[in-house]
Structure 1
Amino acid sequence: MNEPAVLSERVWTIPNILSLLRLAGVPLFLWLLLGPQADLWAAVVLAVSAFTDWADGKIARRYGQTSRLGQLLDPAADRLYILSTLLAFVLRDIVPWWFVALLLIRDLAVGIALLVLRRHGYEALQVNYLGKAATFCLLYGFPLLLLAKAAESTAAVSLPLAYAFIIWGAALYLIAGAHYVRQIAQIVRSAPATAA
């Protein structure tokens, strides 16, 4: 049962449609957060995005609908939600700028390492468990933080949970990024021997 999944070239699969809907929700989320500052509705959009992130992967694996496009869309939607949320949170003074800078530096380092990997003729590595756990924590922590901002009556419960998810998520995000860069460095160092 541990055979590698065969990637399909299909575009119109349920997981891909869910990923496209998640991408389409980013402008709505940003508008809710920065325009009318409707934090509760922004939290709902973010929570729905987190749920569809889980659902598209589950459906893809269960019904054999993994595809090359899905492998691009899913992490792209995750990164876009995380980036847009962080930038909006900084603009609204919900999180400190240094916290966002730390996560952006991580993404920049991984992006440069990925370019080096592609330059050596390799495709991107699969997302590891740490990266998935980090994304899970961040995408569940952000709506809880918005919920605490939107409804003060729930803040006593939602705020500590939000901080716990976000702190753990950020730590795992940095560790996953360092692990990814280390893997790429090992592959690139061994590339000449492999090519020979």
Structure 2
Amino acid sequence: MNVPNMLTMSRFVLIPLFLILYLNDQSIAALCVLLVAGLTDILDGYIARRSGQVTLTGSMLDPLADKLTMLSVILALLIKNVLPLAAFIVMAFRELVMIIASAIFHFRGLKTVPANLLGKATTVIYYAAITLLFLEQSIGVDVLWFGIALSFLASIIYFMKFRNLNRAS
């Protein structure tokens, strides 16, 4: 268990804390917890790559923590009627497909592709949209739909790279 993996694991702990705060009308505190989770996401990857501490465990847990965090956030926003149902369905579908596909790829011993730049940009846009939604800015929904569109484009690119990588092996 290295520092990057501990940072990743902390995100799993932050999910219930976020939910408790947000669902008990502590939205600013919940947003702060979410932003801390986002910061740990940035730090764990940076530290792992910079110090040569990239592990198979980390490469599996990091995207899982990301997906579960996002699923928790969009579910909470849906419960509070902040997020349109259509956006929730589309986002939840994509996140669940990515979790299931990653697990299948891993257990079949297939090589995985690291997140692409578009995927990272999507995450930043999601966090911006969520922040706007938490601050009750109506443009947050538009920003979120833009992020959703980018996420599907990033996924298509990811799966094409994945297919090419594993076809070449």
Fold shared per TM-score above 0.5 = yes
| Larger relative contact order (Cα-Cα within 8 Å, sequence gap ≥ 6) | 1
- Structure 2 unaligned regions, length at least 5: none
Conserved in 1, the CA contact under 8 Å of 2:83 and 2:141? no
Letter in 2 for 1:106: R
Deviations for 1:37-71, whole angstroms, at most 9, x for unmatched residues?
Answer: 11010110011111111111111222222222211
Conserved in 1, the CA contact under 8 Å of 2:67 and 2:99? no
How does the TM-score come out when normalised to structure 1?
Answer: 0.73
Matches within 5 A, 1:175-190: 175-185=153-163, 190=167
Q: Distance in 2 between matches of 1:66 and 1:129?
A: 18
| Distance change (3 Å), C-alpha of 1:20 and 1:115 | closer
Matched, 1:168 2:157: no
Conserved in 2, the CA contact under 8 Å of 1:29 and 1:46? yes
| Distance change (3 Å), C-alpha of 1:14 and 1:39 | same
Matched, 1:145 2:106: no
Matched, 1:40 2:23: no
Alignment RMSD (CA, Å):
2.5
Matches within 5 A, 1:126-145: 126-145=114-133
Q: Distance in 1 between matches of 2:50 and 2:106?
A: 30
What stretches of structure 1 move > 6 A for 4+ residues in a row?
none
Aligned residue number for residue 20 of structure 1:
9
Deviations for 1:101-159, whole angstroms, at most 9, x for unmatched residues?
Answer: 1122223444555466457641333222221221222134313321x13xxxxx5xxx5
Matched, 1:76 2:64: yes
Q: Which of 26, 37, 46 is residue 49 of structure 1 equivalent to?
A: 37
Aligned residue number for residue 29 of structure 1:
18
Conserved in 1, the CA contact under 8 Å of 2:71 and 2:95? no
Conserved in 2, the CA contact under 8 Å of 1:78 and 1:135? no
Q: Distance in 1 between matches of 2:105 and 2:32?
A: 37
Larger radius of gyration: 1
